[in-house]
Amino acid sequence: MREIKIKFTEYKSNWGIVDVDYYSETARALMIKDGYMKQFLISAEQYGNARFVEDEEIYCMIYTESISSAIPGFVRLPQAVDLLQKLRTGAIKKFIFYGEDMDFLTVGGPVPHLVKELNDFFGEQIDKVWITIASKNWSHDWGNINVVYNLGCLPYFLENNIEKIEKENIVVNSSKAEKHFYTTNNQPREARLHLYKHLLENRLMSKCEASFFFRHHQEQDKRYLVYSDRERDGDKVLLPDIDDSFQFPTRIFDNEVEGSYFFNCKWVNFPKNNNALIDLVIETLSDPVNFCSLTEKTFRPIICKKPFLVFGSAGLYKGLEEMGFKLFPGLYDADVLDDTTEFDELMWEMRHEDKAKAEFYKIRFAKFLKIVDRLADMDIEQLRELVEETYFNCEYNYNVLLKIIKKEKEDTLKLFSL
């Protein structure tokens, strides 16, 4: 067993830098029990027959906010000056900004400014600095910065469910499904509330195995939400307001109340999933253009060997194909949701990026709902036949995912090595 000398810390804007209690058996057991994402580091360690030993030779600062706020916040901390000095003396040989979760750095993000801040602060030590980002933007140029695009700690969600399938001999098979769609929606974001309203008003809930907003049901004991309860992304408004007289019942699956929030949100409800033909997914970040951001929500149907329909950023399907996954042209045309031609036209017309993005979002979301309605209008037997034709693509995607998880571990160990 090889030892990797590495110091794990965590950065948050309201904390600064704090030590991560990773090394004790008690701390590691708690990470696994409560479902913390950092347990992926344990999985990578075990995969490589390695042992992470607490030592600043490699300094890994895990950030859970966007890199666009983590870098400016870090370089202004007094601790940062001490760490820079250790880089200069060689006490620290590699410094890593490690993105734990999906990143919100999108088109129009301040990449040139971040590159300048990093170079101004680290100076001649910049070649020892690495950044990992759990999203992909094809328009960003990081210049001389070492950047790795990966899935962050996300693979632990996926691996836990795969292990559960194998350990409990769970059969993932929706060939006898009685419902059209399976959808789980934790946080009440704009598009999820509008999807829910659409399903309710068009009497489509009977065609769904659906859960909505279990965290609010569990932690706040709310049985109904209104639109003003939604998660907000600053002052951004992408879809029309829904009057608070419209109530959204919280709906939960039985496995969403078994443990802590992080524990509950990672598990697939396999009986419910097997009873639906297609997974409907509203990704966390769905408004950027020419951008791919993925969370466990998109990968869950791949674990269950199912076709999926995802409303995410314009570029999500392009990103999936670049990762090696196959899509489902017999069910819908993914280009309809990825094509940015209309955005370019709106930019030319409006000459204002935020306004163009908001209008383009409405257009894309309407196209997404149109696909949902077309599939929902099909007789269940007709849809079942179309889904059966996706069998080989679904099996293929599952095997691609296994390879990706393996590569993520290998790449993480490589990153954590000199």
Q: Indicate if 42 and 190 belong to the same structural domain.
A: no
Residue pair 138/105 in contact by the 8 Å Cβ criterion: no
Same domain, 176 and 237: yes
Q: What integer pLDDT is reported at residue 217 of this predicted model?
A: 72
| Residue 18 lies inside a defined structural domain of this protein | yes
Structure tokens at 290: 């020419």
205 and 149 part of one domain = no
- The angle formed by the CA atoms of residues 68, 28 and 159, to the nearest 5 degrees, is 70
Tell me which residue range forms the domain holding 112: 2-153
- From 133, 153, 173, the end of a domain falls on 153
20: left (phi over 0), alpha (psi -120 to 50) or beta: beta
224 and 126 in one domain?
Answer: no
CA angle 374, 320, 40 (to 5 degrees): 120
Q: Sign of the CA dihedral 287, 291, 297, 303?
A: positive
- Residue 265 DSSP symbol: T
394, 396, 400, 401 alpha-carbon torsion, rounded to 10°: 20
For 367-392, give the secondary structure using H, E and C: HHHHHHHHHHHCCHHHHHHHHHCCHH
pLDDT string in tens for the chain (418-residue length)? 899 999 999 999 888 999 998 898 898 888 887 778 888 999 999 999 999 999 999 999 999 888 999 999 999 999 999 999 999 999 999 999 999 988 877 655 689 999 999 999 999 999 999 999 998 888 788 999 999 999 998 898 899 999 999 999 999 988 889 999 999 998 899 999 999 999 999 999 999 999 999 878 766 778 999 999 998 877 888 999 999 999 999 999 988 777 766 677 778 999 999 999 999 999 988 888 888 888 889 999 999 999 999 999 999 999 999 999 999 999 999 999 999 999 999 999 999 888 998 999 999 999 999 999 999 999 999 999 999 999 999 999 999 999 999 999 999 999 999 9
Report the pLDDT value the prediction gives residue 108, as an integer from 0 to 100.
Answer: 56
Work out how many domains the chain is built from and give that number: 2
pLDDT at residue 102, rounded to an integer: 82
Two tokens, residue 100 = 């734990």
Positive or negative torsion for Cα 119, 123, 127, 133: negative
- Asked, for residue 287, whether it belongs to a domain, the answer is yes
Residue 183 and residue 63 share a domain: no
Domain assignment present for 418: no
- Report pTM: 0.93
